[in-house]
Structures are given as C-alpha cells and as structure tokens.
Amino acid sequence: MTIVSGENHGFVRSIDPKFLGLQREKLTHIRLYWHDIVGGPHPTAIDVVPPPSKSSPTNFGLVRMFDNALTQGPELSSELVARAQGFYASAAQKELSLLMAQNFAFVQGEFNGSTITLLGRNSVFNKVRELPVIGGSGVFRFARGYAEARTHTFDLTTELVARAQGFYASAARKGLSKLMVQNFAFVQGQFNGSTINLIGRNSIFKKVRELPVVDGSGVFRLARGYALATTHTGDAAVEYNIYVLHY
C-alpha cells in the first residue's frame, strides 16, 4: 500500500497533485439510466437478506445486491455506458426508504475504467431523490458531488398468478373510501382453481389497509383471515399480503 498524503513513518510529505495525475478541478454533469430487474429469468438484483418480519409493509431489513446496467437512454436496449454495482437495504419501518451503496463502473467512453461511488438515502416514492457522491477512482479520484434520481418507468410485468374479479364502490362522502368485494381466482401454481374472497373497506390514501378474508373455494374452503394492501404506484399497482387460515 502506498500512502500518498498525510503522516507516514514520522514525516509529512507534500505532493504535487500532478504527481497523481490530477488536473484543475472541474464540474461534470452525467446522465444515465439505471435498470433494476428483480424478477424473471435473468434478474440483475437478488435478495441476500430476507426481511425478518413478513408483516412489515416496507420489508424492513431486506438487503438486495445488484449489478444493474447504466445506459445512455431510457430503454434497456440503449447503449451500455456503465454498470451500477452495490446493494440497497430497506431502512425504514413506516415508509419505503432505502439505504443505497453503489459504484458506477464505466465500461466505455471517456470515463472507461473509472468509477463514481454513491452512498445515501433513497425514498423511492419521492419524485426526485438526492444521493451524495462520496468518492471515485480513475478520472474521479477525490470526487465529490451529488446525484439526483428520478423514476422514469416502473414495470410490474411479472408472472400471472391469479385474477382479482369483483367491484368497488365509493362509499364515503367526506373521504376517499371504497367498499370492495372481490375474488382472487388462482390460475396456476399450487392453488390453481381455488379462490379467496375478500370484502371490506379500503381507505386508499392510507399507506396500509386491512381487508377481511371471508371465505374461499377449493383449497380455501371455509377460509378466514385478512389481507394487507399497500399501494406501490399512483396508477393502482397494489401489493396484497394475505394471511389465511384454511383446511
């Protein structure tokens, strides 16, 4: 290991920045698109530590390692510029907020072989999130700055497990609260052909809503339980965690 500045073996040595290949400090703006794929046959992010509690609406304690493409344009097929390698962890109990540590490792272009290191908090449902740049290598030695993250698309395309069939009705005059009646009809997997029936009140602006499981069919005959509903995106992509007792 070579120590290039500071105290070393009882003496202090001043070093010309040019010795390290450092030039005049400048400000650079880089725009990249970060692709996080958590499902399908070729995921780029995998769980390495599961959340300790399955009832946590934020998956508090989850740790996920990723090796994500950083492309020039928003399409995954766009030119690959760098790879984002690191991890994020669910670090909040009452909101979806991540601790993120990652390197942007450039694989081509003027920054090829250099890295930028980011560490910070990512409240993923905020329109714009700011993460500090804490260092780098190569061209970005001693780098400092910040990154602004904006979600461009959020693709929930994944394997179809069941269909939710039913209706909801606006049932409150002073708040946005719905009466919901629905069947979850499973179309594949171990519950294929069975259904779970839910009926209850859904105050959709609450972070987590509870709906009773009142019955079912097939595997879920005489079922009882409850479902926790959490909205993931504004266009009504809702996560349901269902806890059910059945025979």
Q: Name which residue leads in pLDDT, 145 or 21.
A: 145
Residue 157 confidence (pLDDT):
60
Angle at 218 between CA 244 and CA 208, to 5 degrees: 30
Tell me if the domain spanning 14-149 has CATH number 2.40.10.480: no
Task: Let me know: does 101 contact 91? Beta carbons within 8 Å.
Answer: no
Q: What is the pLDDT of residues 149-174, one digit of tens each?
A: 999 877 656 667 899 999 989 888 77
What residues form DSSP beta bridges with 105?
Answer: 83, 115
Residue 207 confidence (pLDDT):
83
Task: Let me know: does 118 contact 104? Beta carbons within 8 Å.
Answer: yes
Residue 61 confidence (pLDDT):
94
Domain regions of the chain by residue span: 14-149, 162-245
Indicate if the pLDDT at residue 198 is higher than 90.
Answer: yes
Indicate if the pLDDT at residue 4 is higher than 60.
Answer: no
What are the tokens at 82? Answer: 């760098």
Indicate if the pLDDT at residue 35 is higher than 90.
Answer: yes
Indicate if the pLDDT at residue 18 is higher than 90.
Answer: no
- 9 pLDDT band, cuts 50/70/90, is low
- 2 pLDDT band, cuts 50/70/90, is very low
Lowest mean per-residue pLDDT among 43-52, 128-137, 138-147, 229-238: 229-238
What residues form DSSP beta bridges with 116?
Answer: 104, 136
Q: Provide DSSP, 3-24.
A: --SSEETTEE----GGGGT--S
Q: Provide the sign of the torsion angle of the four alpha carbons 222, 223, 225, 228, taken in this order.
A: negative
Residue 20 confidence (pLDDT):
67
Q: Name which residue leads in pLDDT, 224 or 39.
A: 224
Q: Name which residue leads in pLDDT, 235 or 243.
A: 243
